[in-house]
């Protein structure tokens, strides 16, 4: 994928990986708009306010972006939340609903809003964002993993639907990256710049890969194929012991495997 001469919207680009990716596109020469609920954090890129859980907000953002940038040709669906859950406590349903609304339905709302434009234009790229956790669960983030597995499956179907339209579909599969508080609790999280260096090296190859899986994410992406799934899942289940319902002290829990 060329990143030097594109017109790009990164939804979920107001912080973290999305903002870092947006700046890489801009530094390479592309025109970039970042979207999110809180655009006040960004003063070096064009912004658009959007809440992916609100269909009206998504429609307004689409109309605003396409009016200013009728040549928009890359859409990145980066908006996501990463919430901890205790499945023995029915109150987790609130986190589960938010997670599905933002990560899964939010992604679908953005794709539905922009796919007709890209297909009508006859060229472009969609970049969806999953996680290593979509392929190997991290049980303390149960619905998060489910939402990302769903986005993976949906991405595969979307690619099939768009064959022959000139619109490519790529899935970014990050491992733990030192953003969104990970830098505070997870010593194994990959520094953002190191992640972006490797991810962009893969993304910019020809042909554009269907999946961008950096080295650190491969053990998760391919655990089932590699026969390491059960062992890794057991390791990644240990933080559950710190939950109050398991007799642990949740306040001292620092989940560290993403």
Q: How far is the CB of 11 from ligand NAP (least distance, A)?
A: 6
Active site residue 154: no
Residue 188 or 245 having the CB closest to ligand NAP: 188
Q: Which residue from 4, 5, 29, 38 is in contact with ligand NAP, where contact means CB under 6 A?
A: 38
Region near ligand NAP per CB under 6 A, out of 66-74, 115-123, 175-183, 246-254? 175-183
Query: What string marks each residue from 197 to 236 as x (binds ligand NAP by CB under 6 A) or -?
Result: ----------------------------------------
Q: How far is the CB of 27 from ligand NAP (least distance, A)?
A: 18
Asked whether position 256 contacts ligand NAP by CB under 6 A, the answer is: no
Helix H or strand E segment including 124: strand 124-129
Under a CB-based contact definition with an 8 Å cutoff, are residues 212 and 199 in contact?
yes
CB atoms within 10 A of CB 204: 16
Do strands 7-11 and 167-172 pair parallel, antiparallel, or not at all (unpaired)?
A: unpaired
Region near ligand NAP per CB under 6 A, out of 25-33, 73-81, 87-95, 204-212? 73-81
Asked whether position 180 contacts ligand NAP by CB under 6 A, the answer is: yes
Q: How far is the CB of 123 from ligand NAP (least distance, A)?
A: 25
Under a CB-based contact definition with an 8 Å cutoff, are residues 52 and 98 in contact?
no
Q: Which residue from 182, 223, 236, 239 is in contact with ligand NAP, where contact means CB under 6 A?
A: 182
Region near ligand NAP per CB under 6 A, out of 64-72, 171-179, 205-213, 225-233? 171-179
Q: Which residue from 30, 131, 143, 155 is in contact with ligand NAP, where contact means CB under 6 A?
A: 131
Q: How far is the CB of 62 from ligand NAP (least distance, A)?
A: 13
Region near ligand NAP per CB under 6 A, out of 31-39, 64-72, 155-163, 224-232? 31-39
Asked whether position 174 contacts ligand NAP by CB under 6 A, the answer is: yes
| Cα–Cα distance for residue pair 111/117, rounded to 1 Å | 10
Helix (H, G, I), strand (E, B) or coil at 66: helix
Residue 101 or 165 having the CB closest to ligand NAP: 101
| Cα–Cα distance for residue pair 204/193, rounded to 1 Å | 16
The residues, ordered by sequence, that sit 6+ positions from 182 with a Cβ below 8 Å of its Cβ are: 176, 189, 258
Long-range contacts of range 209-214, CB-CB < 8 Å, 24 or more positions apart? Answer: 209/170, 210/159, 210/169, 210/170, 210/171, 211/170, 211/171, 211/172, 211/173, 212/170, 212/171, 212/172, 212/173, 213/173, 214/173, 214/174, 214/175, 214/190
| Cα–Cα distance for residue pair 146/102, rounded to 1 Å | 13
Taking each helix axis as running N to C, give the angle between helix 106-121 and helix 55-68, from 0 to 180 degrees, rounded to the nearest 10: 30
Catalytically active residues are: 144
Q: Which residues bind ligand NAP (CB under 6 A)?
A: 12-18, 36-38, 50-53, 78-82, 102, 106, 129, 131, 174, 176-177, 179-180, 182, 189, 258
């Amino acid at each position: 994928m060329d990143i030097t001469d594109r017109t790009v919207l990164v939804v979920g680009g107001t912080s973290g990986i999305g903002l870092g990716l947006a700046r890489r596109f801009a530094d390479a020469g592309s025109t970039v708009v970042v979207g999110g609920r809180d655009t006040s954090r960004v003063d070096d890129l064009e912004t658009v306010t959007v809440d992916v859980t609100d269909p009206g907000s998504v429609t307004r953002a689409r109309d605003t972006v396409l009016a200013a940038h009728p040549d928009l040709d890359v859409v990145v669906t980066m908006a996501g939340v990463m919430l901890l859950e205790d499945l023995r406590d029915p109150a987790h349903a609130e986190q589960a609903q938010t997670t599905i609304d933002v990560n899964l339905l939010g992604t679908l709302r953005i794709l539905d809003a922009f796919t007709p434009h890209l297909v009508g234009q006859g060229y472009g790229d969609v970049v969806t964002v999953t996680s290593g956790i979509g392929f190997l669960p991290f049980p303390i983030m149960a619905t998060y993993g489910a939402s990302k597995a769903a986005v993976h499956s949906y991405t595969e179907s979307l690619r099939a639907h768009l064959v022959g339209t000139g619109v490519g579909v790529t899935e970014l599969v990050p491992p733990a990256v030192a953003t969104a508080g990970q830098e505070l609790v997870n010593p194994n999280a990959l520094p953002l710049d190191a992640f972006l260096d490797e991810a962009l090296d893969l993304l910019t190859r020809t042909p554009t890969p269907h999946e961008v899986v950096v080295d650190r994410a491969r053990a998760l992406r391919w655990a089932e194929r590699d026969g390491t799934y059960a062992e890794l899942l057991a390791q990644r289940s240990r933080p559950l012991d710190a939950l109050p319902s398991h007799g642990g002290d949740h306040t001292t829990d620092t989940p560290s495997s993403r």
